[in-house]
Amino acid sequence: MIHWTPLLRSSAINKLAGCQIFFKCENFQKVGAFKARGAANAVLKLSESDRKNGVATHSSGNHAAALARAAAEAGIPAYIVMPANAPEIKKQAVKEYGGEIFECAPNLQAREERLKELVDRYQATFIPPYDHSDVIEGQATCAYEIFEEGLSLDVLMAPVGGGGLLSGTALASHYYSPRTAVIGAEPEGADDAKRSFMAGKRIPMESPDTIADGLLTSLGLINFEIISKYVTDILTVNDAEIIAAMRLIYERMKIVIEPSCAVPLATLLKNKSHFQGKEVGIILSGGNVDLTRLPFK
């Protein structure tokens, strides 16, 4: 159901960063993002009785397409609530994977109310985008693959929005490479994970504002508990730094990534002294970006 994605390196970026970086390319994953892992795992772990009624979720992004695809692979229906203003390219992806879209107003209350209607109507199983143990377990396979390649990293970095990828990464690192420090990377304009991590309690995000649209979601409850226990630190960067790192990857590595994907590299470059001479893994979370609206020329 998923790809074992490659690890890439760039001598030019290593020289600039002052360390050895291994980029885990989830932009080459099914549906173009790591979300395929969590959705696939959650669907595969459903009981036969739950499978026949299908799955449902609310999402405006990669999880919507990932769940639609996983459901299609399993031969079951997928009911996807998407805000009316979701990008057409993302709606099209859901449709191409066989998902049935139900539009709603662009706010969380409308999403949740519409989702409840569908779950009640179809008796479908709700698969959240990140705050779900099976989804987290699926996202953990990304870091697992890194360690299976024999790398002994000093640091492993992942972006954090809802926290599914970072919490899965932290769990995999804890069990397969305890010496590896896990660091989350987050935009300054959507820094609820950083603030929650520092305060020792979950602080929901209000009015996030960042170019990294995949990281706008508030940190999940299960994710926060795992991150609090197993993550070493969370560092933040501004949008200008994110754009610069995104452009650097396009220019030097010749691959397509989305803004959220560039946040860990931007964080590393902003804090070079933290990583000097170390071996660092960076998870490139996805490559679903509108190429007509790149933030640089």
Separation of alpha carbons 69 and 66, rounded Å: 5
> How high is the pLDDT of residue 235?
98
> Out of 75-79, 109-113, 230-234, which region has the weakest mean confidence (pLDDT)?
109-113
Separation of alpha carbons 72 and 99, rounded Å: 8
How would you list the strands of the sheet with 55-58, edge to edge?
100-104, 78-83, 55-58, 125-126
Separation of alpha carbons 150 and 132, rounded Å: 29
Separation of alpha carbons 95 and 295, rounded Å: 27
> Out of 139-148, 275-284, 288-297, which region has the weakest mean confidence (pLDDT)?
288-297
Cα distances (Å, whole numbers) of residue 177 to 104, 146, 228, 258, 275: 43, 10, 18, 28, 18
Average pLDDT over residues 111-123: 94
Answer yes or no: is pLDDT of 233 > 90.
yes
Q: Is the pTM of this model over 0.85?
A: yes
181 close to 286: Cβ distance less than 8 angstroms:
no
Chain center to CA of 20:
23
Pairwise pLDDT comparison (154 vs 209), residue with the higher score? 154
> How high is the pLDDT of residue 68?
97
71 close to 168: Cβ distance less than 8 angstroms:
no
pLDDT confidence tier of residue 250, bands split at 50, 70 and 90: very high
Treating both helix axes as pointing N-terminal to C-terminal, what angle do 62-74 and 88-96 enclose, rounded to 10 degrees?
A: 10
Q: What amino acid occupies position 169?
A: T
Q: How does the average pLDDT of the chain come out, rounded?
A: 95
Average pLDDT over residues 94-111: 90
> Out of 11-15, 59-63, 162-166, which region has the weakest mean confidence (pLDDT)?
59-63
